[in-house]
Amino acid sequence: MARQLQTFSNQFPIVLRQEVIWGDMDAFEHVNNTVYFRYFEDARLKFFEAVGILEHKAASGIGPILASTHCNFKLPLKYPDTVQIGGRAIIVSPKKIQMEYAVYSEGLSALVAEGEGLLVYYNYNNQRSCEIPDSIITAIEDLSKSIPSLG
C-alpha cells in the first residue's frame, strides 16, 4: 500500500487526506456519487489557495468559473475509510484551465475515482470571460514543476 500511495501522491502537487463520513453513504451502502464532486471541490480550492487564485479574485474580481465537470467511478467507497484526493491543473488555452482529480482509498489500496473540471477565467465585474492573468499562469507552472509526470 505504501508504494501505491506514494506513486499516487507523486502525481499531484495538491493532495488532501480526509476521512470518509458515514453520513455520505447512500441507501446502497456506499459513498453517494455527489460526494466525489465535493472531494474534487476541496482539492480545487486547495489548489486555488496554493497558486493565489482566491487572493487575486478578491483583489481584482477576476477568477475561474466552473464550466463543466465529470467523474469516472472505479470502485465503491464505504465507511470507514480514509481517502487521499489529488488535484492538478493544465492550462489548455489563454482562458481555460483543466483540473484533473483522483481519489485514492487507503482501505482498498486502490484508486476509486478520477475526474476533470474545465474552468474558464472570468471577469466577475463585467461578466465576461477573460484571459488568465500572467501571475496565475506562472504560479500554476511553478507548482506543476513539482510533479515528476508533468514537470
Q: What is the pLDDT along the chain (151 residues), one digit of tens a residue?
A: 566 666 777 899 999 999 999 999 999 999 999 999 999 999 999 999 999 999 999 999 999 999 999 999 999 999 999 999 999 999 999 999 999 999 999 999 999 999 999 999 999 999 999 999 999 999 999 998 877 554 4
Confirm whether 151 is domain-assigned. Answer: no
Residue 10: CB atoms within 10 A of its CB come to 14
Confirm whether 149 is domain-assigned. Answer: no
Task: Name the grid cell of 130.
Answer: 477573460
Count of domains observed in the chain: 1
The residue segments making up the domain with residue 109 are 2-144
What predicted TM-score, i.e. pTM, was given to this entire model?
Answer: 0.92
Confirm whether 92 is domain-assigned. Answer: yes
- Over residues 106-123, the pLDDT tens digits come to 999 999 999 999 999 999
Helix (H) or strand (E) holding 112: strand 110-123
Q: Tell me the one-letter amino acid at 19.
A: E
C-alpha distance across the termini of the chain, in Å:
25
Rounded CA-CA distance 81/67 in Å is: 31
Confirm whether 63 is domain-assigned. Answer: yes
pLDDT of residue 151: 41
Confirm whether 109 is domain-assigned. Answer: yes
To which residue does cell 484526493 refer? 85
Confirm whether 102 is domain-assigned. Answer: yes
Is 28 strand, coil or helix?
coil
Domain of residue 13, CATH code:
3.10.129.10
Q: Tell me the one-letter amino acid at 130.
A: C
